[in-house]
Amino acid sequence: MLTYPQIDPVAIDLGTYTIPFIDKVVHPQIHWYGIMYLLGFLAAWRLALRRAAKPWSPVIKSEVEDMILYCAIGVVVGGRLGYMFFYDFPQLVAEPLSLLRVWEGGMSFHGGLVGVMVAAAVYARKVGTTFPALIDFVAPLVPIGLGLGRIGNFIGGELWGRPTDVPWGMVFPRDPEQLVRHPSQLYQATLEGLVLFCALWWFSRKPRPRLAVGGLFLLLYGIFRFSVEFVRQPDAQIGYEWFGWMTRGQELCLPMIAAGIAILVWSYRTQPLPKGRGGDAAAEQSKKQAKSGVR
Looking at residue 293, what is its pLDDT?
A: 46
Which residue, 143, 146, 150, is CA-closest to 47? 143
Q: Look up the domain containing 64 and give its range.
A: 10-275
More confident residue, 128 or 24: 128
Residue 276 has pLDDT above 80, yes or no: no
List the one residue out of 23, 241, 30, 31 whose CA is nearest residue 156: 31
| Residue 163: CA count within 13 A, CB half-sphere | 5
Please compute the mean of the pLDDT values over residues 247-253 and round it to a whole number.
92
- The reported pLDDT for the residue numbered 104 is 63
The number of residues in the chain equals 295
| Average pLDDT over every residue of 9-21 | 81
Q: What is the pLDDT of residue 168?
A: 96
Residue 285 has pLDDT above 60, yes or no: no
119 found inside a domain: yes
Q: Is residue 282 part of a domain?
A: no
pLDDT digits (tens, 9 = 90+) for 150-174: 999 999 999 999 999 999 999 999 9
- pLDDT recorded at residue 102: 66
Q: What is the pLDDT of residue 105?
A: 65
What is residue 149's predicted lDDT score, i.e. its pLDDT?
Answer: 93
Is the model's pLDDT at 263 over the cut of 90? yes
Q: What is the pTM of this model?
A: 0.86
Q: Is the pLDDT of residue 289 over 70?
A: no
**Is the model's pLDDT at 89 over the cut of 70?**
yes
Say which amino acid occupies 193: G
Give the number of domains in the chain.
Answer: 1
**pLDDT for the residue 190:** 97
> In the predicted model, what is the mean pLDDT of the chain?
88
Question: According to the model, what pLDDT value does residue 272 have?
Answer: 84
Residues 184 and 231 sit within 8 Å (Cβ to Cβ)? yes
- Whether pLDDT at 30 is above 90: no
**Predicted pLDDT of residue 24:** 76
257 in a domain, yes or no?
A: yes
Report the b/e string of 127-147 with b at 16+ CB within 10 A: eebebbbbbbbbbbbbbbbbb
- Does residue 40 lie within any of the structural domains? yes
Residue 187 placed within a domain: yes
User: Is 295 inside a domain boundary?
Assistant: no
Is 283 contained in some domain? Answer: no
Query: Which residue would you say has higher pLDDT here, 47 or 80?
Result: 47
Q: Is the pLDDT of residue 133 over 90?
A: yes
Q: Which residues pair with 180 in a beta bridge?
A: 171
- 245 in a structural domain: yes
Q: What is the pLDDT of residues 197-214, one digit of tens each?
A: 999 999 999 999 999 999
Task: Output the CA torsion sign for 91, 97, 99, 103.
Answer: negative
